[in-house]
A and B are shown apart, each in its own frame.
Chain A
């Protein structure tokens, strides 16, 4: 299988990557247009909901939460693999991550931003959202530090700011390359500003390495904690189906899972749209696919653990919800989740599937569908079938307004992501160069060794 060529010239790397900032394939514009349109739908829905009240989402008592929270968790989950690739694999010196970590990190940032929007969309009085922030005010009123939702807000905010920092810091050497090669215009000014006078001196490189490593170390526990805290929203509550000890690892696994499959999807799109076939090679894809497969199995295992612990517990209410999930109104979705999340990834075990782009594209979409369903199946059944039978409600479905905003969020994410990839180098030039250099060094060594041993 073809990997990145060891003899690829540094100038060519620059040229190829910088080319992505100029002339992507036509499909890029099609995607961008669709993203804008979808985002427009989302905006329209939010304006309507803001004006009229949350009732238009067809939420009710008991269905106090709906797709907004489900999709919020989904996007939080999406963010995790960026960190996995860029930070964890960085520390583990896995060099295959180098051509792809940049866009993965961008995915992290943008999906976190998308997730944040859902919190806004979800609350009843958007105009008072700042009450949830711990700012000092003269009446001495603070948010409730006991509430997992507040931890959530803080964790996400921290994670988002760190991710942005991490993404930005890692980009500085590349921004300098852009600055040096870009024709005059607003972009050149932008790169000049952002590259902070990078010249590639030894001292700069040393400081850069230390900074980058520090942030990476900081980010890893954060990534794990963020989704654990999201899990705490549920696990810390008293509701049947939520009050589950295994939720934090389960959520983290789910997050990595959906993130990895998201990376596969975007990998395939970017590779085509920006003509990155040279860098985003199938051998890298294969590694991600294997990673995804492994995580899928972890997730499946944790699912089984959850079901078993509910089934063999004496908590009848939780058990009823599990039965309801498997046999009730939500059964098609629940089984859909099991199918997409646990059965579909089995195809990834086959070598041929690991490099078949059309197939992987389809599979990765299915996996993400499964993971979205998983989040919905955490939320909706508990509300519809909670402790209090009198208020059981299996007939309420999310209204078009809710669906519209879920749809719009994909537009918003894609829009941000696509604009980012067009404005900033989505493949890390300097790290690909490092990778190529190290590999060619290695190659030379082995060649010398071969020649030296007659």
Chain B
């Protein structure tokens, strides 16, 4: 943000719906996660540790709620007081939802978290002073703070282990906030390649680490404005629109035959992750 933004183009700078008056072009990264395919196996989470240099905090810090998993698998039970969970559990991978109207962005005092032109909610580590207001205002609580200086911790990346660190991703020091980036380093590389070839990134050309690992291929990721992309088709098939907070499915409770939804739609953060409801067999 600069003074110019304030004086001249404020209305463009912050959109009510970013897609209303300024459609994303040529990229809008988005995801869809099929909860009926997700088995809750945690492969995505480990892959994220491998790709994004996430520190292993150890038992004690985990106990204090200081874990750094950018993507976590949540396990829910049915809430009906049955003796046994005879319909199994429900798993939900939860990571930064890359909201279009992100509650975290407006509150950061130093503008360290911003919206990028391709629809990501970016976190600028260098700029972050660690006020943690973003985390306070995040309804999903998917922002993770560096409570300690993990690079200097003896047990996080001891000798040899540090050679595994991904050179494309910053190793974060203490006092900064971090979160899922949709593997922005991969997106950058793919966009660069595409640009040099005079085209846009093709669907499937770039995968996030979690998507790549997922044994059940429950995660799809891509460019929402590319009509050829799987994500675009999935969102369209589910009639979920990025800039609406009430989708077709919500209007027709029970009878829509759609299963795409976004979490906390009513808070209007306009998340970029669509989940597909888990299906339960009616015959048993």
Contact = CB atoms under 8 A, between A and B. Distances in A.
A129 interface: yes
B14 A124 contact: no
A54 B110 contact: no
Interface stretch (A6-14, A56-64, A179-187): A56-64
Contacts of B23: none
B264 A387 contact: yes
Interface in A382-398: 383, 386-388, 390-391, 393, 396
A237 B67 CA distance: 25
Nearest to B268: A238
Contact of A237 (B2, B137, B141, B176): B137
Contact of A128 (B2, B6, B129, B146): B129
**Best-surrounded residue of B109, B130, B176, B264 (most CB of chain A within 10 A):** B109
B157 interface: no
Interface string B118-144: 000000000111111101110111011
B14 A146 contact: yes
A131 B130 CA distance: 11
Nearest to B3: A142
Contacts, number: 150
Contacts of A23: none
Contact of A144 (B65, B108, B175): B108
Given A147-B108, A388-B139, A396-B65, A54 B145 contact: yes
**Best-surrounded residue of A123, A140, A147, A236 (most CB of chain B within 10 A):** A147
A8 B106 CA distance: 59
B91 to A, nearest CB: 12
B103 A237 contact: yes
Contacts of B64: 55, 58, 60, 396
Contacts of A55: 61, 64, 66, 147-148
B18 to A, nearest CB: 15
Contacts of A150: 109
B14 A125 contact: no
B111 interface: yes
Q: How large is the interface on B (under 10, 10 to 19, 20 to 34, 35 or more residues)?
A: 35 or more
A89 interface: no
A146 B136 contact: no
A149 B128 CA distance: 14
Nearest to A234: B136
Nearest to B106: A146
Contact of A60 (B65, B128, B175): B65
A200 interface: no
Contact of B136 (A54, A64, A131, A390): A64
A204 interface: no
A132 B65 contact: no
A125 B2 CA distance: 23
Contacts of B265: none
B175 A149 contact: no
B152 to A, nearest CB: 10
Nearest to A396: B65
A24 interface: no
Given A124-B175, A124-B176, A149 B107 contact: yes
A350 interface: no
A239 B6 contact: no
A92 to B, nearest CB: 37
Given A61-B141, A132-B129, A53 B108 contact: no
A124 B145 contact: yes
Contacts of A131: 110, 127, 129
A52 B1 CA distance: 32
A325 interface: no
B15 interface: no
Interface string A363-407: 000000000000000000001001110110100100000000000
Interface string B62-89: 0011110000101000000000000000
Interface of A: 52-55, 58-65, 122-126, 128-129, 131-132, 140-150, 153, 233, 236-239, 383, 386-388, 390-391, 393, 396
Q: Which 3 A-B pairs have the closest CB atoms?
A: A124-B130, A124-B175, A55-B147
Given A125-B128, A144-B106, A146-B1, 16 more contacts: A53-B146, A61-B145, A124-B174, A131-B127, A132-B129, A141-B111, A143-B110, A144-B108, A144-B109, A146-B107, A147-B107, A147-B111, A148-B107, A153-B109, A239-B139, A387-B264
Interface of B: 1-3, 6, 14, 61, 64-67, 72, 74, 94, 103, 106-111, 127-133, 135-137, 139-141, 143-149, 174-177, 264, 267
